[in-house]
Amino acid sequence: MTTSATFGDLLRFARGHLDAAAEVPDSALREESSIVAAAQVTSRLALTLSRYLGDIAPGDMAEAITSSQLDPLMRSAVEARQALELAAEGLRTDAYGSGKPGGDPAGPLAARLAEAATALAAGRDLLRTHFTTGPDRRWSPRSSWASVIISGPVTRALAAEVAGWSRQLALVITRLSLAAQGDPAIPAPVRHGLAGACPWLLTASATITAGQRDNPATAPDTDLLHVVPVNIAPQPQPPQHAETAADLAAGLAASAARLRAIGWATTGQAAWAPVMTADSWRWTATGAAVICHVSELMLTSLAGRAVAFTGAPDVTAQLRIAASAAANACGRWRDVTAAWNQITTETKGLTAAGIADTSDLVVRLGRHAFTDPQWTPARAHRAPLRDPADLAPDAAQAAVLVGAIHHAADALACLAAADLHAVDTADRAGRLFMPTRALPDYYDVPYRHGTATPLAVAALLDAYQAACGASGRAVTDLDALAVTTNAPSRILAAARAASRPANNTSTPDTAPIRPSNREPAPPAPSGPVEQEVRKLASGDPILLLRAKAIDKAARKLIAEAKDSTHEPGTPGSAEGNSRPVRPARTAARLAASSFPASPAAPVAGRQVGGPPCCPTLRVSMWASLVVGMCATAETPRGWCRAGFRAHGVGGMLILLI
């Protein structure tokens, strides 16, 4: 049985190459081309790491400095990202030739680092498969793992991984730098870049570690990050003859994963997809009822097998609770099938995408539960339930069974939600019909079918709603059971716990995960603020980071001011008289159009309706800079609006400009 690749798989691959890179002997670093190539690949690695952090914390340094509401983890992620970008900038050696584009990197160290860079970039791509990017570049979930990825525990774990990788890279860079210092053939900018990158990499690592001081990533957080799978449905695995219990469980988990993926993929298709038929929905609901029924039988049987759970006295009670929840879910799914008795669609047949997988779930769960290894729902294959001692000879086998039931229930919960949504969509699209004989007498329909009555549709949707709730409760009970019995499926429980709203790092206005494809800007000379900070001999790299950010923002503001002065169509210019006047794309205009005239909710520390509180000099300066950045091409407009609303500085900005 095959399973989907996980983030952990890619991470292990990358780590293997990074570890191997550390073993590359110094003798391999004697050639100039090797050092230049390794520096270039390390730049790529640092850039990839910065993008991971960009996904976690989309804000900019300006926000990190001005916002008092920013979570320490987010603030540290922003600062570390900036440090990594600076390291990447310094390490760019493409001007000095580092191998052919797309060719093999020169030297064993560069080759190892390139493998690691590819794996880490693939890891980021894997996480992104759980999202879609809308026209506004905001990310929307496309799997149930999406909420796990943006959860606090996984975000913490990811940031901690980035900190670890940054430390490892710093060691590599130190070796490269030492090798480069003694080699006059190495171009001076490469030597300087190598020497300068190491502190930034260490700064990134230290910043993240400091940001997690009060709330560090735990081992379970890291485990959860590592099990995030690629969002591709596994290949169908139809039941085979004489499958072992382990095969049955693995096949069942694969079918469950496919159903979850199908549920997300088909959302919204019911309005037009001819494959989504009443037959399919009815059949799926029947399959769900059977799965719940068989689950109840197995859980009840396991509850009578207390000897398999010595040392875990709560298990028997949990099994009974879960059995009761499964029985309730079975009843609700039967209600759904009954509600379909008089309703049909204009297309027919068992054509929906999840039919085969639901069928596989039914068959495999039945083969777990009953004595016939060839069990099918047909009466000809009827068989008594397995003896409890045969069903769960020991705790390990009991855990496998609990895991199988857990996976099936989890898939049903997804299916219930997806079908509820799909049926509702089909109704809105006018795809639900009833035979004329079943319509009330006052319906004068000259056809064999008429549009389903609102009453019948309401009953159907109510039945789905109840099935959704009951399936959700069954899954919650099984979550607890899976953890107690150490079932292989317990990761589902951890994922659900992590994605609860309390653990979610997102707010309605700021999506924490967003694309961050920005290329690092070319290295800029030190600005006045940075120079001043350096003069003060401050050894704090975070202060330097902030100083650089201030200089960068100031440069943008000045550049924009120059642009707006020369912009065609600006009142007063010669061209402005001959062309239609269009609004200048100034920071002030953008700021003014980016948030409502009055705040939606009172902002702490401000009098609503009255004059704003006196802004401090620092905040006012930053407000101006943020507005300056708003107008630059590389700052997505959506985020700016969200950021202003989220941090309550918008009203103040208008007054300042």
Partner 1 sequence: MEEIDSMRARLEAAGELTELLVAAADAFSLLLATCRVCEERASELFAAFAFASAAAAQGRLIIDSAPSLAASPGTEASLRGCAEPDLAKVADGLAGLAQVLGDRLSAAAQQGHDRGDREACQDAAAEAMRIYELLAPDR
Given the rule CB under 8 A, which residues bind partner 1? 278-279, 282-283, 286, 289-290, 293-294, 297, 334, 337-338, 340-342, 344, 348, 362, 366, 370, 377-385, 435-437, 448-449
Residue among 61, 98, 103 nearest 80 (CA): 61
Mention every residue, 6+ apart, whose C-beta is less than 8 A from residue 422. Answer: 266, 267, 268, 269, 270, 276, 281
DSSP class of 449: E
43 or 359: whose CB is closer to partner 1?
359
Taking a C-beta distance cutoff of 8 angstroms, is the pair 42, 168 a contact? no
> How far apart (Å, rounded) are the C-alpha atoms in residues 277 and 289?
18
Using DSSP, state whether 434 is helix, strand or coil.
Answer: strand
294 or 513: whose CB is closer to partner 1?
294
Token code pair at residue 308: 């398999």
Task: Output the smallest distance, CB 295 to partner 1, in A.
Answer: 12
14 or 470: whose CB is closer to partner 1?
470
Length of the chain: 657
Task: Output the smallest distance, CB 145 to partner 1, in A.
Answer: 31
What are the start-end ranges of the E strands in 82-138?
131-133
**Long-range contact pairs involving 556-564 (C-beta distance under 8 Å, separation at least 24):** 556/628, 556/629, 556/632, 557/587, 557/624, 557/625, 557/628, 557/629, 560/586, 560/587, 560/628, 560/631, 560/632
Taking a C-beta distance cutoff of 8 angstroms, is the pair 33, 188 a contact? no
Taking a C-beta distance cutoff of 8 angstroms, is the pair 364, 244 a contact? no
Taking a C-beta distance cutoff of 8 angstroms, is the pair 28, 277 a contact? no
Task: Output the smallest distance, CB 643 to partner 1, in A.
Answer: 53
Task: Output the smallest distance, CB 258 to partner 1, in A.
Answer: 21
Residue among 175, 248, 206, 143 nearest 27 (CA): 175
Using DSSP, state whether 174 is helix, strand or coil.
Answer: helix
264 or 370: whose CB is closer to partner 1?
370
Residue among 562, 556, 528 nearest 628 (CA): 556
Taking a C-beta distance cutoff of 8 angstroms, is the pair 349, 273 a contact? no
Task: Output the smallest distance, CB 348 to partner 1, in A.
Answer: 7
> How far apart (Å, rounded) are the C-alpha atoms in residues 173 and 182?
15
Task: Output the smallest distance, CB 283 to partner 1, in A.
Answer: 6
Mention every residue, 6+ apart, whose C-beta is less than 8 A from residue 70. Answer: 59, 63, 64, 78
Strand 432-435 to 449-451 pairing:
antiparallel
151 or 295: whose CB is closer to partner 1?
295
CA distances from 534 to 88, 143, 166, 512, 621 (A): 21, 48, 24, 33, 21
Task: Output the smallest distance, CB 380 to partner 1, in A.
Answer: 4
Task: Output the smallest distance, CB 278 to partner 1, in A.
Answer: 8
Task: Output the smallest distance, CB 440 to partner 1, in A.
Answer: 11
379 or 535: whose CB is closer to partner 1?
379
State the Cα angle at 153 between 152 and 157, rounded to 5°. 115
382 or 428: whose CB is closer to partner 1?
382
Give the ranges where 499-595 is alpha helix by DSSP (H): 528-535, 541-566, 587-593
Task: Output the smallest distance, CB 333 to partner 1, in A.
Answer: 9
> How far apart (Å, rounded) are the C-alpha atoms in residues 546 and 557?
16
347 or 632: whose CB is closer to partner 1?
347
Task: Output the smallest distance, CB 18 to partner 1, in A.
Answer: 52
293 or 407: whose CB is closer to partner 1?
293
293 or 556: whose CB is closer to partner 1?
293
Task: Output the smallest distance, CB 472 to partner 1, in A.
Answer: 22
Please give, one letter per residue, the 3-state secondary structure of 407-427: HHHHHHHHHHHHHHHHHHHHH
12 or 348: whose CB is closer to partner 1?
348
State the residue for tokens 């009060």.
Answer: 214
φ/ψ of 435, rounded to 5, equals -65, 145
Token code pair at residue 532: 């001043």
164 or 435: whose CB is closer to partner 1?
435
448 or 535: whose CB is closer to partner 1?
448
**Long-range contact pairs involving 616-623 (C-beta distance under 8 Å, separation at least 24):** 618/66, 619/66, 619/649, 619/652, 620/652, 620/656, 622/62, 622/65, 622/66, 623/66, 623/649, 623/652, 623/653, 623/656
Task: Output the smallest distance, CB 330 to partner 1, in A.
Answer: 9
Using DSSP, state whether 292 is helix, strand or coil.
Answer: helix
Task: Output the smallest distance, CB 636 to partner 1, in A.
Answer: 50
297 or 322: whose CB is closer to partner 1?
297
